[in-house]
């Protein structure tokens, strides 16, 4: 384990996971460049931790602004050790219901925002021959649920992007990790964060079924996650994927077992298609 003081760049640090993880890093003596659309929410952290935190106003869908923010953080702290893409939200709606602007907004934030942050940080990390790029994905970046199609698509894309990136930068001394949380009692479903398409009555039964299936679901406690994230960034050999939550590993394993069974049952058809 490597526990020396680290410098973080965190997007979406005004609330939720981003805020908790920024606070945990600061409390143990690390330095944090914390970005948010509205930096006023970072005021209490600035008041408490002073020069150890650099608040930066940022909309991650603005590529130029992302590059400027990362450069500002590097100039201020002289290095970057942990680059954490946390900014994002979940759009809900059946695939037929999702409008083009809604779809583009979801992909712009969750996928392109993550890509821009990685692209902006990589020149600095390559030069110092170290660093850890982390992106918050979801268990819904591994398997899908109805009414979350465009959110699933954005997180599946983040998974593919970061997986490829990990293979590209391993030789450069740069580590990559995807965080895959299950359901947590954050503001994910709060109207201030979640967005919803205009509902089509044809899909109300699907939504009712989903609600019934998760009626007794036990949400994880966000405040229980910082220790896992600190252990991750201190590891000399961090995993490419880290699931968070009691149900996460079981749900992901179940999804893969189902896929493996399907591929195996159709193996003969697949092999004959080789020609």
Supply 188's token pair: 């994910």
CB 141 within 8 A of CB 152: yes
Please state, in angstroms and rounded to a whole number, the distance separating the CA atoms of residues 114 and 161. 9
From the list 6, 23, 155, 175, the catalytic residue is 155
Beta bridge partners of 56: 35
Could you tell me which of 238, 201, 243, 198 has the C-alpha nearest to residue 220?
243
SS (H, E, C) 152-175: HHHHHHHHHHHHHHHHHHHHHCCE
Examine the residue annotation and report whether 144 is marked as an active-site residue of this protein.
Answer: no
Helix axes 113-128, 149-169, angle to 10 degrees: 10
Please state, in angstroms and rounded to a whole number, the distance separating the CA atoms of residues 136 and 143. 15
From the list 23, 31, 138, 151, the catalytic residue is 151
From the list 14, 52, 85, 137, the catalytic residue is 137
Supply 169's token pair: 């930068």
Any alpha helices (H) in the chain, and if so which ranges? Answer: 16-27, 43-49, 63-77, 100-107, 113-128, 149-169, 204-213, 226-234, 248-265, 267-272
Q: Specify the pairing of strand 132-136 against strand 82-85.
A: parallel
Please state, in angstroms and rounded to a whole number, the distance separating the CA atoms of residues 144 and 243. 16
Examine the residue annotation and report whether 137 is marked as an active-site residue of this protein.
Answer: yes
Examine the residue annotation and report whether 175 is marked as an active-site residue of this protein.
Answer: no
What is the set of active-site residues?
137, 151, 155
């Amino acid at each position: 384990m490597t526990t020396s003081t680290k410098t973080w760049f965190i997007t979406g640090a005004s609330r939720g996971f981003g805020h908790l993880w920024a606070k945990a890093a600061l409390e143990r003596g690390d330095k944090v460049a914390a970005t948010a659309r509205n930096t006023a929410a970072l005021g209490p952290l600035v008041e408490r931790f002073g020069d150890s935190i650099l608040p930066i106003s940022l909309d991650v869908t603005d590529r130029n602004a992302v590059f400027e923010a990362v450069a500002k953080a590097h100039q201020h702290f002289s290095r970057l050790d942990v680059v954490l893409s946390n900014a994002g939200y979940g759009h809900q709606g059946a695939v037929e219901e999702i409008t083009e602007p809604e779809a583009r907004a979801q992909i712009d934030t969750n996928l392109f925002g993550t890509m821009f942050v990685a692209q902006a940080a990589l020149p600095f990390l390559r030069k110092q021959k170290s660093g850890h790029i982390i992106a918050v994905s979801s268990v819904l970046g591994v398997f899908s649920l109805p009414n979350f199609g465009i959110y699933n698509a954005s997180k599946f894309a983040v998974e593919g992007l970061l997986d490829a990136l990990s293979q590209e930068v391993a030789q450069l001394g740069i580590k990559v990790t995807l965080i895959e949380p299950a359901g947590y009692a954050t503001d994910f479903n709060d109207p201030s964060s979640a967005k919803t398409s205009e509902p089509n009555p044809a899909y109300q039964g699907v939504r009712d079924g989903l609600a019934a299936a998760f009626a007794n679901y036990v949400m994880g406690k966000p405040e229980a996650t910082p220790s896992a994230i600190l252990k991750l960034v201190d590891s000399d050999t961090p995993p490419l994927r880290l699931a968070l939550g009691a149900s996460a590993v079981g749900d992901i394993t179940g999804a893969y077992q189902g896929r493996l069974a399907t591929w195996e049952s159709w193996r003969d058809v697949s092999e004959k298609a080789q020609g």
